[in-house]
Structure 1
């Protein structure tokens, strides 16, 4: 066993570049784990910088000074955010408050409908078993409603913090974009000279994360916009709120689409009951999800994030358990980083049997 472990260690860590890369990744992971909440504004600014780097670089190619290009792009982005905030957020907020006030009535209506199923289908549904399931489900849904209410109240109390972040984050984005080369050059002082593997992983991850951030932004806008149009045309209540939830849900692979199905179905069931209109709503929602997964995602991402669905689910569970909601949102980039590291890791001394044999002969 000792010889096996020794050979494995020599094969994996004989290259100094690999040891340096492991050290850098360990420091970064420990920083995120222990100081993730404090670094949240920096992470948000970094994501926005990746999102806006493409138009800034395009303007730079047109011989516009980088600082001027950064100012123009950032001002345009802030203007779009303000327009969206003043146009949509009041409606979304009002619909969210109304939905929370009607939440108990929706649960009661849903419970009444479930309670009628044993009478309609006595040979298929056990009434006692259904009552226990409904009781557990009602308790959990009420707990979710209370958590949402507490989160909304706490968000009101944290308006001062949000105001500070609304100033600091754009400033950090500006400096990240305008002084990108200087900042990257300044990091060289803290990285050892044995950085070949780090540079290889960085080049791969830089392109993939940039494509991922821009692709996810486009996916949120398209899925959310299409959902809003469909919900409005169908006359669904809380269309703005639900379409926003559907758009943001694409950030959480697989789990997000499943989680948003519940509020969409509950609102439709409360509004129309079991009717053809409710069936059309569910059908339209399923079509949106199918087109998103099978048409929009391949077009936007292509081979940028080439991960098996099983790896994505495991990444969501692991990183969500480690870092909460931030870990869920960044599960795919982190999984892509792990894949890039594994692909770049040197594999030396693959055949060590001959030296061992020669040593035994001597």
Structure 2
């Protein structure tokens, strides 16, 4: 049996049913739309998953004889409260940690330099002052490179921050609907 005959038999067997062909076309178009518009539809899909997960909590409350509208309101208010708590409580803590790191960096560097000087004083035959200067200049180069990367990353992530804000506003609205 030739390859052409095998392929022809296979297509006749599986694609003679028009429902199978329509299913294949719908699946192909659905995947194409998701891949092509995935970035724009991501908040919708996120809200869909979160709404699906929150529906279990609503079902649990309705089994306990709480009216469905009140259960939906309780779950939605709890979800929005959790999102706002994460946004307004966690973000300032992260910001303070970042500020403390930036403020402590010079002290840590001077402490490291003092440690290197003590190391050179304890072992003058093993570590020369030139080696210490080379180490310090290498650390300074690395830190300046990391600083440039951090600045570039912070400027390039501005779009991500705007996207996060869109998520914080759009996802709870989509979960509600």
With normalisation by structure 2, the TM-score equals 0.59
Deviation at 1:8, TM superposition (A): 1.9
- 62 and 35 in structure 1: CA distance in 2 versus 1, 3 angstrom threshold: same
Within the alignment, does 1:7 sit opposite 2:9 as a pair?
A: yes
Question: By percentage of residues, which structure has more helix?
Answer: 2
Please say if residues 45 and 170 of structure 1, whose CA atoms lie closer than 8 Å, have aligned partners that are also in contact.
yes
Provide the aligned length of Structure 1 versus Structure 2.
137
Report the aligned-residue RMSD: 3.4
> Which structure is larger by alpha-carbon Rg, 1 or 2?
2
Considering Cα pairs closer than 8 Å and 6+ residues apart, tell me whether 1 or 2 has the greater RCO.
Answer: 2
Question: In 2, Cα distance between the equivalents of 1:21 and 1:155?
Answer: 40
With normalisation by structure 1, the TM-score equals 0.32
Deviation at 1:73, TM superposition (A): 0.5
Residue of structure 2 aligned with 1:35, choices 37, 40, 50: 37
Structure 1 residue ranges (4+ consecutive) displaced by more than 6 angstroms after TM superposition: none
Aligned to 2:49: 47
Deviation at 1:161, TM superposition (A): 5.2
Question: In 2, Cα distance between the equivalents of 1:56 and 1:12?
Answer: 43
Residue of structure 2 aligned with 1:167, choices 159, 166, 169: 169
Deviation at 1:157, TM superposition (A): 5.7
- 63 and 34 in structure 1: CA distance in 2 versus 1, 3 angstrom threshold: same
Deviation at 1:75, TM superposition (A): 0.9
- 39 and 149 in structure 1: CA distance in 2 versus 1, 3 angstrom threshold: farther
Residue of structure 1 aligned with 2:28, choices 17, 20, 26: 26
Deviation at 1:55, TM superposition (A): 0.3
Ranges in structure 1 where 5+ consecutive residues have no aligned partner? 110-138, 176-362
Aligned counterparts, 1:194-209, within 5 A: none
Residues 63-113 of structure 1: CA deviation (Å, up to 9, x unaligned): 4343332221111122123223333322223445638x96xx99xx9xxxx
Question: In 1, Cα distance between the equivalents of 2:58 and 2:151?
Answer: 40
Please say if residues 43 and 171 of structure 2, whose CA atoms lie closer than 8 Å, have aligned partners that are also in contact.
yes
Ranges in structure 2 where 5+ consecutive residues have no aligned partner? 113-141
Residue of structure 2 aligned with 1:61, choices 56, 60, 63: 63
Aligned to 2:19: 17
Residues 41-71 of structure 1: CA deviation (Å, up to 9, x unaligned): 1122112112212101222333434333222
- 2 and 88 in structure 1: CA distance in 2 versus 1, 3 angstrom threshold: same
Please say if residues 44 and 169 of structure 1, whose CA atoms lie closer than 8 Å, have aligned partners that are also in contact.
yes
Question: In 2, Cα distance between the equivalents of 1:60 and 1:11?
Answer: 49
